[in-house]
Each structure stands twice: as C-alpha cells, then as structure tokens.
Amino acid sequence: MVARSSGMTSTAAHPTSDADLHAVFAPLFERIAAGAVDREIDRRLPHEEVGWLREAKFGALRVPVEYGGYGASVRQLFGLLIDLAAAESNLPQALRVHFSFVEDQLLAEPGPVRERWLRSVAGGVLVGNAITEPGVGAVDRYQTRLTGDSARRLLNGVKYYSTGSLYADYILVAADHDGERVGVLVDADARGVRQHNDWDGFGQRLTASGTTEFTDVVVPDDRILGPGYGAAGATYSTGYLQLVQLAVLAGIAKRAESDAREWISARTRGYTHSAADLPREDPLVQQVVGRLSAAAFSARAAVLAVADVLDEVLAAGADDENDLNAVELAAAQAQLSVIDTVLAATTQLFELGGASIVSERLRLDRHWRNARTVSVHNPAIQKARAIGDHLLNGTALPFAWSAGERKSQEVAR
C-alpha cells in the first residue's frame, strides 16, 4: 500500500510513547483485573471500572494531543486493548464502536464541529451502539425509523446487542430515514430511550449488550450522520471492528496463561503417577503452559500485524478500495487463526489439574466461555468461505456496513 496525503490532522503529530502509555494504563489494568472474578460471580456491570477508564482518558487514545488526547497509533491502541482484555475481557468489546466512531471523526473534514467532538471525547465522552435488531438480521430489513422533517424528527424502534450503551453518553443508532439508511447519535439519557441489561449469553456477560428501545426520541438534524450508513461497499470499519474482537481473544489467551501459571505455581498436590512430585516440575504440565504461552503470543502478534495495516490505511485517508480490501482480508485471515488458537488454549488449561481446577471459585471456565462467545459474532465458517471465494474467484469480500459519507459524519455535542 502506498501512503497518500489525506489532508487530515495526524494523530501522530506529537505521539505518546509506548513507555508513557504503559505507565498510565498498566496500573489501571491491574486494578481492573483484581475484581474480575468477583464481578463474574456477582454479574456486576463494571460501571466503576469504566469510570476509571474515563478519568484516564482511555477513550481518547487516538485523539490528537492538540485536542487533549494521546495521539496513539492504531498499533498502540490495539496493544492496549489486548492488555485491557486480559484484565477484563468485557470492556474492549463494550468500547469497540466508540473507537470506530472516533476514527470516523479523525477521517472527517477538519472544522470546528469535528474539533469540538474530538475534544469531547478527550473530556471523557463515550459512544455506545444500537445497530442490530432482534429477529431481523440484515440492515436492509431494519424496522427502526427516523420520521418527520427538520422541524421535528422522531426516532422509533427496538435494537438488540446494544453493546456498551449502558456505559455510554451517546448511542449510535442505525435507522431508516425516508428509504435511506442513516446513523443517528442519541443521548443515552434522552427522553424515550429505555435500556435493558438482558443479554443472556453464557459468556461476555458484562458487556451490557442488551435491548434498547427508542420511543419518539427527538433527533436534531446535526445528530444525523449522513446517507449511506449500513450501505454496501468497502470500508475500513468492518475489519477494524473485527480486530477489536480479536484483541479481546488475544487478551483472554494472555489471562488464561497467567491464571494457569499462578494456579500451578501455588499447587503442591500432584498425582501418584506423575513424573514429578510438584506439578510445576512435571514435564507434561510444563508442556501445557508452554502451549498456552505460545497461543497468547501468536494471538497478540496476529492482532498487531493487522493493526499495522490499519495504521497505513487510516493514515492515507481510508478511501482507496484496494487498501480497504487489504484490511478486510487481513482481519478475516487473522480471525480464522486467532479463534482456533485461543479456543484450543482455553480448553487445554484444564489439563493442568484434576477436579479442583473446575472450581466455581476459580471461574477459569470464563476464559473459554468468553472466547467462544466473542468468536461467534462473525461466524468463522462464513469468513473462511468468503476468503477462499475471494482468492480463487475474485469475489468481493463481505463488508458488513459503511459509516456513510465522510463529510456527513461530524456531529455537534
């Protein structure tokens, strides 16, 4: 890919170093990780932990330094998302549309509205989403409607998988508007918005991915994100959003390895037919830990490799179809590799012990449950077929949705 000047403000004008980012966020992630098992047991949504992330301006990682953010690269962002996922796998998934929305603002035409929004993000504002509808499926069958004229527009509909919206200040909603699919930005506490924490999956239980109802919600014109939202066509967004899920999986693998080593290191009881008295000295146990370590390493490496591609494409303006296809293909290929690697790893860790390793108190099963849940969001069998069809026959890759016309993406707070 050839870098092209986009005329956009670079987030790397005064970047924050890896060491500086680590100094800010590593202690915070440790605090978040300390309560992970208790939150899982109690099924307590991590509102307090999201508050810590707000205070540290985690949501502003990609916002330029001159607007109050960190000016981080895509690679730095995804490295930190992996680390956050290792602490609490629900949080990066809850924030994935937020970071995609920030990228849309970075790609928007420079101006006071764009700057105001980026500064708002640097001030702690978070964006959730309400895209998918229950029992409907594809975007061309959405029933959520934006009606009326510029004097008064009303939003009505029901959404599901509203990931992260219970933690957010604004909700990005996909809707039909006079036959066109648009994105609408709604205040999370606006009159007529009702949110339900009714996600009943066996994993990723704390992502706040439930139902959101919109009843006659007033939408100003400056909250309509423009025509084309949800339309077919190449976009950076699908690969970007998929990569957040892969970062979650890489973080899960990292935590699974860490938990396994901690459990084994403290264990003194082995088996009568073991090759060593202590489990940590057993070569078979060592082999499993080695495989867990390799899984965490390779999953992280795959995510960061795709992040490098995204760095180039976004810096060039994300408007070249060949570049966008390269991102989509790389993310899809990484998906097939990372899913298989992490699911195997989160199963293998149970080979380290007998019945005691399945104790509910340990909640080690959460790693497999969370990984399995994240992995089915975009079925791997469908992605594998699409990759093969593309490579063999030149068939277009399946981009899930487009964020609409670039110039229409600016919004006023």
**SS3 per-residue string spanning the chain:** CCCCCCCCCCCCCCCCCHHHHHHHHHHHHHHHHHCHHHHHHHCCCCHHHHHHHHHCCHHHCCCCHHHCCCCCCHHHHHHHHHHHHHHCCHHHHHCHHHHHHHHHHHHCCCCHHHHHHHHHHHCCCCEEEECCCCCCCCHHHCCCEEEEECCEEEEEEEECCCCCHHHCCEEEEEEEECCEEEEEEEECCCCCEEECCCCCCCCCCCCCCCCEEEEEEECCHHHEEEECECCCCCCCHHHHHHHHHHHHHHHHHHHHHHHHHHHHHHCCCCCCCCCCCCHHHCHHHHHHHHHHHHHHHHHHHHHHHHHHHHHHHHHCCCCCHHHHHHHHHHHHHHHHHHHHHHHHHHHHHHHHCCHHHHCCCCCCHHHHHHHHHHHCCCCHHHHHHHHHHHHHHCCCCCCCCCECCHHHCCCCC
What rounded mean pLDDT belongs to the chain?
Answer: 90
What are the angstrom distances between the C-alpha of 198 and each of 57, 137, 223, 398? 28, 19, 27, 29
Q: Does domain 130-227 fall into CATH 2.40.110.10?
A: yes
What are the angstrom distances between the C-alpha of 247 and each of 193, 214, 339, 347? 31, 31, 11, 19
Q: How far apart are CA 167 and CA 217, in angstroms?
A: 19
pTM over 0.75: yes
Determine the average pLDDT of the residues in 192-206.
95
Kindly indicate the confidence band of residue 137, based on its pLDDT and cuts at 50, 70 and 90: low
Cβ proximity of 158 and 144 under 8 Å? yes
Cβ proximity of 116 and 323 under 8 Å? no
Residue 132 has a pLDDT of: 87
Query: Phi first, then psi: what are they for 17, rounded to 5°?
Result: -70, 160
Lowest mean pLDDT among 16-25, 72-81, 171-180: 171-180
Residue 407 has a pLDDT of: 37
Nearest-10 Cα torsion for 233, 237, 243, 245: -100
Statement: residue 363 has pLDDT above 60: yes
Residue 271 has a pLDDT of: 77
Q: Which is more confidently placed, 146 or 404? A: 146
Kindly indicate the confidence band of residue 227, based on its pLDDT and cuts at 50, 70 and 90: low
Cβ proximity of 299 and 245 under 8 Å? no
Q: Which is more confidently placed, 231 or 336? A: 336
Kindly indicate the confidence band of residue 406, based on its pLDDT and cuts at 50, 70 and 90: very low
Percent of the chain topping pLDDT 90: 76
**Hey, where are the domains in the chain?**
18-125, 130-227, 236-393
Statement: residue 225 has pLDDT above 60: yes
Q: How far apart are CA 243 and CA 305, in angstroms?
A: 10
Write b or e for each residue in 7-39: b if 16 or more Cβ atoms lie within 10 A of its Cβ, otherwise e.
Answer: ebeebeeebbeeeebeeebeebbeebbebbeeb
Statement: residue 110 has pLDDT above 60: yes
Lowest mean pLDDT among 27-31, 61-65, 155-159, 176-180: 176-180
Residues 6+ apart with CB under 8 A from 182: 146, 174, 175, 176, 224, 225, 226, 227, 228, 229, 404
Query: Phi first, then psi: what are they for 74, rounded to 5°?
Result: -65, -40
Partners of 181 in beta bridges: 176
Kindly indicate the confidence band of residue 230, based on its pLDDT and cuts at 50, 70 and 90: low
Q: Does domain 18-125 fall into CATH 1.10.540.10?
A: yes
Kindly indicate the confidence band of residue 3, based on its pLDDT and cuts at 50, 70 and 90: very low
Specify the CATH class of 236-393 in words. Answer: mainly alpha
Nearest-CA neighbor of 193 among 171, 177, 210?
A: 171
Please count the CA atoms within 13 angstroms of the CA of 31 that sit on its side-chain side: 13
Residue 301 has a pLDDT of: 98
Statement: residue 5 has pLDDT above 60: no
pLDDT per residue as tens digits for the range 280-293: 999 999 999 999 99
